């Protein structure tokens, strides 16, 4: 392993300090230790570095100094809480095709190809590097049914340095003959996938590594329609055989026809959400994607179980699923993050997702008769969802999500340079940040750091 020195970043930064509050710091010194953990932050300018370093016991000759340009700033990395790595080759295809037809005609035929591990490697290398360059420092990935291809995705995340939860998808019914598992195989290959993470081996866990593993498994029953009760029960048992239980991800309440089908398949359960609860799959580590058509009762169940929601507005519009009620979810104290849901969603970068999240919420405010009482999602709130909200959803809010000493340095160095972002000399960081969020794109993301390691950016 490469030995790194401490690094000091000099310049501006913006991050979330609460759901609706951003902190904009014009002049800061951020010290990142050899392991990539933020050691301290001072609100001071570059000219103060000699004095600060004496006080902090830093020997300037021994550290690397990264001085940001006057128009640049740091942002925490984005956390994409729901995306399908094998579907990126389809991004942009299928506009308006309803979910179940979209799965049969576009998605399953594409995912079937990952039986070929070499093909999978090629796609996954591009997915991981492209999303890193677009500012996704952490992703919650679905793979395919294939064990080896999904293990390749894990290896590639580790090689390229992207933080991730990776799931081998599980499906044992109501799927094409050529893209389905026997129940017994679905169970054993989910077990084998988890067992291939060496850090989950009891002997390794006992030696308590100082930092959490960069890549961890997440159990991935695709959705209630495509999983038998036996498989759901086994995955719940597997999750609970670890302490804390393994993370779990699935789709929930995305599309009307899907919801009606779930009602027919699971007549004993009170609701779609209750299906997952009845099989012991709802808990603090559960990430539920979409949640477009939830009833109040279902939201209460999610809250009670401390599960959370990945809001995927680009997908919910692109394949015409509907509009999720994020304001209500947040008011009720449910954890919410953002998901690109590629290729149900068309955007690989979280910026368009974040923007659309505010617009969907604004349309709810427009439609509300007492609209002055309805608070649409603000940009700071949507940014929180893209960073801290995602971290909390993935149980990593003590590790990443904003710039706090003790957390890991997962950061974007933003240099405004895309044609839509016009920054003038001396413009304050609050405005440079707003211009990037609304008018910028991934060309403005000059460098991307995960755990202090430079892993991407627009020059790559």
Nearer to ligand GUN, 103 or 288 (CB): 103
- The distance of closest approach from Cβ of residue 103 to ligand GUN in the complex, given in angstroms and rounded to an integer, is 6
The DSSP element (H or E) to which 330 belongs, if any, is: helix 326-331
Of residues 105, 217, 233, 114, the one with CA closest to residue 158? 217
- The distance of closest approach from Cβ of residue 85 to ligand GUN in the complex, given in angstroms and rounded to an integer, is 11
Nearer to Fe ion, 12 or 315 (CB): 315
Residue 363 to residue 183: CA distance in whole angstroms: 43
Tokens of 400: 């990443």
Nearer to Fe ion, 32 or 291 (CB): 291
- The distance of closest approach from Cβ of residue 253 to ligand GUN in the complex, given in angstroms and rounded to an integer, is 11
- The distance of closest approach from Cβ of residue 213 to Fe ion in the complex, given in angstroms and rounded to an integer, is 24
* Own/partner long-range contacts of 233-239 (Cβ < 8 Å, ≥24 apart): 233/279, 233/280, 234/187, 234/190, 235/170, 235/187, 235/190, 235/279, 235/281, 236/279, 236/280, 236/281, 237/280, 238/187, 238/190, 238/191, 238/194, 239/281, 239/283, 239/285
- The distance of closest approach from Cβ of residue 455 to ligand GUN in the complex, given in angstroms and rounded to an integer, is 26
The DSSP element (H or E) to which 54 belongs, if any, is: helix 49-56
Nearer to Fe ion, 70 or 92 (CB): 92
Question: Angle, to 10 degrees, between the axis of helix 183-195 and the axis of helix 229-240?
Answer: 20
- The distance of closest approach from Cβ of residue 222 to Fe ion in the complex, given in angstroms and rounded to an integer, is 9
Residue 343 to residue 69: CA distance in whole angstroms: 36
- The distance of closest approach from Cβ of residue 129 to ligand GUN in the complex, given in angstroms and rounded to an integer, is 22
Does residue 369 come out as left (phi exceeding 0), alpha (psi in the -120 to 50 range) or beta? alpha
Nearer to ligand GUN, 141 or 409 (CB): 141
What number of chain residues touch Fe ion (CB under 5 A)? 1
Rg (the chain; Cα; Å):
22
Contact letters for Fe ion, residues 39-58 (x by CB under 5 A): --------------------
- The distance of closest approach from Cβ of residue 299 to Fe ion in the complex, given in angstroms and rounded to an integer, is 20
Nearer to Fe ion, 341 or 444 (CB): 341
Q: Do 413 and 141 touch, CB atoms closer than 8 A? A: no
Asked if residue 341 binds Fe ion (CB under 5 A), the reply is yes
Residue 72 binding partner per list ligand GUN, Fe ion, none, with a CB distance cut-off of 5 to 8 Å that depends on partner kind: none
Residue 435 binding partner per list Fe ion, ligand GUN, none, with a CB distance cut-off of 5 to 8 Å that depends on partner kind: none
Only one residue has tokens 């709810």, namely: 364
Asked if residue 111 binds Fe ion (CB under 5 A), the reply is no
Q: Which residue is nearest to ligand GUN (CB)?
A: 344
**Residue 176: C-alpha distances to residues 117, 173, 180, 226, 415 (Å):** 20, 8, 6, 10, 47
Nearer to ligand GUN, 37 or 288 (CB): 288
* Contact footprint for ligand GUN (CB under 6 A): 84, 99, 103, 107, 222-223, 251, 254, 315, 341, 344
Asked if residue 254 binds Fe ion (CB under 5 A), the reply is no
Residue 140 binding partner per list Fe ion, ligand GUN, none, with a CB distance cut-off of 5 to 8 Å that depends on partner kind: none
- The distance of closest approach from Cβ of residue 87 to ligand GUN in the complex, given in angstroms and rounded to an integer, is 6
Residue 460 to residue 447: CA distance in whole angstroms: 9
- The distance of closest approach from Cβ of residue 345 to Fe ion in the complex, given in angstroms and rounded to an integer, is 8
Asked if residue 71 binds Fe ion (CB under 5 A), the reply is no
The neighbour count for residue 333, using CB atoms within 10 Å, is 9
Q: Which residue is nearest to Fe ion (CB)?
A: 341
Residue 355 binding partner per list Fe ion, ligand GUN, none, with a CB distance cut-off of 5 to 8 Å that depends on partner kind: none
Nearer to ligand GUN, 133 or 250 (CB): 250
Residue 447 binding partner per list Fe ion, ligand GUN, none, with a CB distance cut-off of 5 to 8 Å that depends on partner kind: none
Residue 379 to residue 374: CA distance in whole angstroms: 15
Nearer to ligand GUN, 105 or 459 (CB): 105
Asked if residue 258 binds Fe ion (CB under 5 A), the reply is no
Tokens of 233: 């029960």
Nearest 5°: CA angle at 100, between 94 and 106? 40
Residue 71 binding partner per list Fe ion, ligand GUN, none, with a CB distance cut-off of 5 to 8 Å that depends on partner kind: none
Tokens of 227: 């999983």
Nearer to ligand GUN, 72 or 341 (CB): 341
Question: Within 340-451, where are the H helices?
Answer: 350-367, 379-384, 390-393, 429-439
- 439 by Cβ neighbours in 10 Å (0-12 / 13-18 / 19+) ranks as middle
Site of interaction with Fe ion (CB under 5 A): 341
């Amino acid at each position: 392993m490469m030995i790194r020195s401490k690094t000091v970043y000099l310049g501006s930064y913006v991050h979330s300090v609460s759901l609706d509050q951003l902190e904009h710091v014009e002049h800061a010194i951020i010290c990142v230790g050899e392991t990539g953990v933020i050691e301290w932050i001072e609100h001071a300018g570059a000219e103060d570095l000699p004095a600060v370093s004496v006080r902090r016991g830093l020997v300037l000759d021994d550290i690397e100094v990264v001085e940001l340009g006057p128009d640049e700033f740091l942002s925490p990395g984005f956390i994409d809480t729901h995306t399908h790595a094998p579907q990126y080759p389809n991004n942009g295809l299928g506009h308006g095709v309803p979910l179940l037809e979209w799965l049969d005609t576009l998605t399953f035929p594409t995912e079937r190809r990952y039986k070929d591990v070499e093909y999978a490697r090629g796609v996954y290398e591009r997915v991981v590097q492209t999303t890193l360059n677009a500012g996704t420092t952490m992703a919650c990935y679905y793979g395919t049914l294939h064990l080896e291809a999904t293990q390749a995705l894990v290896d590639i995340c580790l090689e390229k340095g992207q933080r991730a939860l990776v799931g081998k998808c599980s499906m044992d019914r109501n799927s094409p003959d050529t893209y389905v598992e026997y129940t017994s195989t679905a169970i054993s290959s989910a077990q084998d996938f988890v067992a291939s993470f060496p850090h989950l081996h009891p002997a390794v866990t006992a030696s308590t590594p100082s930092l959490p593993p960069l890549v961890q498994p997440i159990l991935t029953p695709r959705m209630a329609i495509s999983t038998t009760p036996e498989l759901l029960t086994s995955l719940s048992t597997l999750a609970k055989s670890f302490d804390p239980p393994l993370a779990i991800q699935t789709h929930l309440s995305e599309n009307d026809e899907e919801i009606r089908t779930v009602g027919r398949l699971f007549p004993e359960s009170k609701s779609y959400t209750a299906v997952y609860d009845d099989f012991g799959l709802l808990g603090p580590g559960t990430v539920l994607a979409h949640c477009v058509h939830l009833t109040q009762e279902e939201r209460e169940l999610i809250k009670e179980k401390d599960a959370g929601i990945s809001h995927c507005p680009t997908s919910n519009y692109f394949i015409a699923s509907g509009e999720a009620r994020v304001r209500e979810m947040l008011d009720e104290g449910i954890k919410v993050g953002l998901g690109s849901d590629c290729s149900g969603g068309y955007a690989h970068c979280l910026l368009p997702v974040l923007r659309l999240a505010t617009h969907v919420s604004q349309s709810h405010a427009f439609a509300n008769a007492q609209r002055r009482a309805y608070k649409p999602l603000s940009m700071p709130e949507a940014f929180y969802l893209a960073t801290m909200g995602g971290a909390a959803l993935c149980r990593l809010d003590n590790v990443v999500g904003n710039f706090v000493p003790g957390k890991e340095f997962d950061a974007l160095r933003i240099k405004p340079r895309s044609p839509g972002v016009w920054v003038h000399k001396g413009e304050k960081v609050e405005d440079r940040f707003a211009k990037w969020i609304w008018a910028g794109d991934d060309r403005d993301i000059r460098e991307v750091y995960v755990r202090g390691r430079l892993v991407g950016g627009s020059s790559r």
